[in-house]
Structure 1
Amino acid sequence: MSLPASLTRSLDRFYEYLRSERELSLHTQQNYKRQLTTVAEQLLELGVSDWHALDAGWVRQVASKGMRDGLKASSLAMRLSALRSFLDYLVHQGELKANPAKGVSAPRKSRPLPKNLDVDEMDQLLSVDENDPLSVRDRAMMELMYGAGLRLSELVGLNVKDISLSKGDLRVIGKGDKERIVPFAGLAREWVGIWLKMRGQLAAPGEPALFVSKLGQRISNRNVQKRMAEWGQKQAVSSHINPHKLRHSFATHMLESSGDLRAVQELLGHANLSTTQIYTHLDFQHLAKVYDQAHPRAKKTK
């Protein structure tokens, strides 16, 4: 489609600005040009032939057309971002009084649900029967992540003094430096105890970390990820193993067994219940059933 000069003049000046003043890469410049050319063509189809005539209503129509055309949320966000930057440029140049795209946002990107392992897969992963220090350490880490629902950073940040085997609890520092006490029992407690007896074979003198690398210092996030992925392959688990998958499996299995969303929220260290709902893909029917059974005003009166 051939665009009128009333639309292309400002666009050409903006492209030159991106090239000479902002010094953006050629790839980024081409992305801007591709997105803005599409916007200009759509506006022309809608009867808008001058940038001065653009208002928030027209911008919303551009966004709506993108959604009708099946554009992904991320692609639509990119298109609106390019338009917003261009209109900011026109405001800065004195060609527009305000940016009509400021109040128009793309729909939220869908949040992919993390995958969890079923109970049989967890048993398969955790059936580590090797008794060398590194294997015992790895099983203790995996048992603890699954047994207490820890984040990777929380696991790596644990010190020996944070663990109480006698009480069956541990102290973790979560997001926002918030401290919480987390219970752990059963096999997690057993294998942490086994590891503590062997830890001295690897840990450097004075090292406070609960889990250490073969160099004797606190194990890194990357090392934990690598070791768990290797164990997933070694134990012939069908899906890729990573620390987050163990945490999510903990949350899913706890919720399936207890139905107690608030308790799972506390165990995971989530500040907001909505985060836990997404994390554990709790279905609405369960919430509705709990509401109907528990709320005093939900029951029908005779």
Structure 2
Amino acid sequence: MKGLRKLDGRTQQGLGAMQSRLTVSQLIRYFATDLPKSSNYPRHARAFVDDCLQKNRPIDGVSFAQYTAYLPPNRVSPIRKFMLFFQQIGQPTVVPDPSGPTLPPAMNELVLRFIRDAKNLRGDRSKETYTKALNAFFAYVDGQLHLGQTASLSGQTVADFVHHLKAEDYSPFTVNLYLSAVKQLAVWCIRKRENLGLNGQQINELRDISDIRGLAIERTFYKDSLEANERRDLLAVPESARDLAIMALLSLEGLRTVEVTRLRLGDLDFDRGQLRVLGKGKHTRKPIKFFAECRQAVEAFLRETERWPIVPARQNESLFDELKTHQIRYVVDKYLRQQGLKRKGMSAHSLRHTAGQLLLESGVSLEHVQQHLRHETMETTQFYTKKQTQKTYLDQMPD
């Protein structure tokens, strides 16, 4: 494969000890050794390897070309880097991971019933995440029982499960997510206690689960944001009315990428200067201020696509036809690089942070910024003020 560069020194030092036969997890773990913990490269590489194994194809250049033929560049790069790594370690034989313990039917049925009834799990991805978390918990329970240990859906076992995840180097975020899933299952079981035939002791054990504490997570500014002049320069470079409208909705209105894809023509109220937004995991649209500069960009796009003025018959039509979130990220990254603004922590979601940060710096109240960004809690919005405090600390402190 052309354009592949040599691996760095640390990986090369470990090649001598590399086995000729690896499971998928072993291979991906070796690949991730020299990558940042937050890197998404291992995830994309695993998807490629799994696809090769499922289709009984070799992990080679032909499979690479077939798999990446219709992928965006930001997904091709991780797999290209993996292919370089795979060649450097001698292309070992790769086999599927050994099957984990199978959940007993009763446990599996309990999980399925809970997922079906969980009203707060609106999307398929949320349901998959909770199913994975609960399966991990019950697999732990089953493993403990096979070792002769006492284990059940109880406070003590859940506490032991949390310690187990921590010992296995799961991130605090993942540990707390798994814990939240088990806690919600416990609440559901108590509510369904008559249908499940639970006795008093079992109910008390379920109630004990609510007292289990998660791991502390240091809340930091995991996303960068642009300064006012940087945002102005960024909005000056889009090559099309469509791209400018997307960039304006992200950086001026502070919309999430998925919220941009959900916009309909009926959500645009130019007369009242309002934009109706369907947030992530929501079923109702919330109105926010439709800023003049953003209105101009969106109107220019509508004129170009011959949909201006908006007629009632087209209210349910999507603003951007078949636009996907990965396409938005690609567009944003392209323009960030053109302006020399692509840096660590700077992404499409950073433009949402940019909108909130600059609104605060312009004097808009914290409460109004919270309402505009549609944060569930004030605590989330307060991170913007903390970031602003850090920026101005040295200048504001008396000598």
TM band (smaller chain): 0.5 to 0.7
Which residue does 1:230 correspond to in 2? 331
CA distance in 1, matches of 2:230, 2:388: 27
Residue deviations 1:197-247 (CA, integer Å, cap 9, x gap)? 3221899995446864xxxxx52451x5404423422551425643x3322
CA distance in 2, matches of 1:148, 1:76: 31
Match of 1:125 among 214, 234, 248: 234
CA distance in 1, matches of 2:287, 2:176: 40
Which residue does 2:275 correspond to in 1? 171
Structure 2 residues without counterparts, runs of 5 or longer: 1-100, 112-131, 390-399
SS in 1 for 2:362: helix
Q: TM-score, normalised by structure 1?
A: 0.55
Task: Give how far 1:139 is off.
Answer: 0.5
Kept in 2, the 8 Å contact 1:158–1:211? The answer is yes
Kept in 2, the 8 Å contact 1:159–1:208? The answer is yes
Identity of paired residues, percent? 17
Task: Give how far 1:137 is off.
Answer: 1.5
Which residue does 2:160 correspond to in 1? 62
1:282 aligns with 2:385: yes
Map 1:177-256 onto structure 2 (within 5 A): 177-186=284-293, 188-200=294-306, 207-208=314-315, 212=319, 218-222=320-324, 225-236=326-337, 237-239=341-343, 241-242=347-348, 244-256=349-361
Residue deviations 1:38-75 (CA, integer Å, cap 9, x gap)? 86799x9xxxx7669x985x558636855985764434
CA distance in 1, matches of 2:291, 2:206: 51
Provide closer, same or farther for how the CA distance between residues 182 and 37 of structure 1 changes in structure 2, counting only shifts above 3 A.
same
* Counterpart AA for 1:118: L
Task: Give how far 1:250 is off.
Answer: 0.5
Provide closer, same or farther for how the CA distance between residues 177 and 124 of structure 1 changes in structure 2, counting only shifts above 3 A.
same
1:18 aligns with 2:104: yes
Kept in 1, the 8 Å contact 2:175–2:215? The answer is no
Q: TM-score, normalised by structure 2?
A: 0.44
Structure 1 residues without counterparts, runs of 5 or longer: 1-14, 213-217, 287-302
SS in 1 for 2:321: coil
Map 1:45-194 onto structure 2 (within 5 A): 56=155, 58-59=156-157, 62=160, 72-73=171-172, 74-75=174-175, 78=178, 81=182, 97-98=201-202, 100=205, 102-104=207-209, 105-107=212-214, 110=217, 115-119=223-227, 121-128=230-237, 130=239, 135-152=240-257, 154-155=259-260, 156-159=262-265, 162-164=268-270, 169-175=273-279, 176-186=283-293, 188-194=294-300
Aligned residues: CA RMSD = 5.1
Kept in 1, the 8 Å contact 2:224–2:353? The answer is yes
